Amino acid sequence: MQRWFKANAATTLGIDASVVGGLASSSGAQQLGLVALCPDGPAWTPAAPELRDADSRLDFFVAGWPIFDPLRRYRMAQDAGNERLVAAHDAYFATEADMDAGNPYRLLDRGEATQLPPMIVIQGTDDANVDHTWQDEFAALYRSTGGTAEVRKFDGMPHTFVTADPEAEASKAAIVAIWEFVLGV
């Protein structure tokens, strides 16, 4: 997506794409996390010849309630008997090995990241889909490998709290935090 955007921003869209970031949430943040950390990964390099050489790096990354370690979350869902989350993982990932391969946390831990764009994580503390302390662990690992990462937590907020109730005070505060982060990049 960012390759197409950067390749077409000026000519097709008439905009400046000198700074391009990404925002994703939940499992989407897992996917965008892979692209942010390894923008030229072969699994997501397009076959279209006109896009192969386009810059794929992100200048910043915003992650809402991310699933940065899908294998760990899968095991958490199994242990909790959360059949909905287990089924979602089984539908998306063929195997636990795929959950490990498509895993931003483990990618960082293995030293395989080729880029570390500045990032902010938005996370509620009452999230039944991902343990909020995992975001602290991810951010600490991110910083230890040379990146800049900030975690903003919102007390008592569940998974998807910003999109579920954008008028709530916590949601508004999260949006302001994102806005301030992006302006500071």
pLDDT, tens digit (0-9, with 9 covering 90-100), for 164-182: 999 999 999 999 999 999 9
Looking at every residue in the chain, the average pLDDT score rounds to 94
Q: Classify residue 166: in a domain, yes or no.
A: yes
Q: Classify residue 120: in a domain, yes or no.
A: yes
Q: Which pLDDT score, from 0 to 100, does residue 89 have?
A: 94
Phi/psi zone of residue 7: left (φ > 0), alpha (ψ -120 to 50 degrees), beta? alpha
Q: Classify residue 23: in a domain, yes or no.
A: yes
CA distance 20 to 5: 9
CA distance 40 to 53: 10
Q: Classify residue 10: in a domain, yes or no.
A: no
The model's pTM: 0.93
Q: Classify residue 13: in a domain, yes or no.
A: no
Taking a C-beta distance cutoff of 8 angstroms, is the pair 90, 115 a contact?
A: no
Q: Classify residue 8: in a domain, yes or no.
A: no
Range of the domain at 58: 18-46+54-184
- What CATH number is given to the structural domain containing 126? 3.40.50.1820
Catalogue the E-assigned strands of the chain. Answer: 21-25, 60-64, 119-124, 149-154
| Count of domains for the chain | 1
The DSSP bridge pattern shows strands 60-64 and 149-154 to be unpaired
Q: Classify residue 85: in a domain, yes or no.
A: yes
pLDDT digits (tens, 9 = 90+) for 57-77: 999 999 999 999 999 999 999
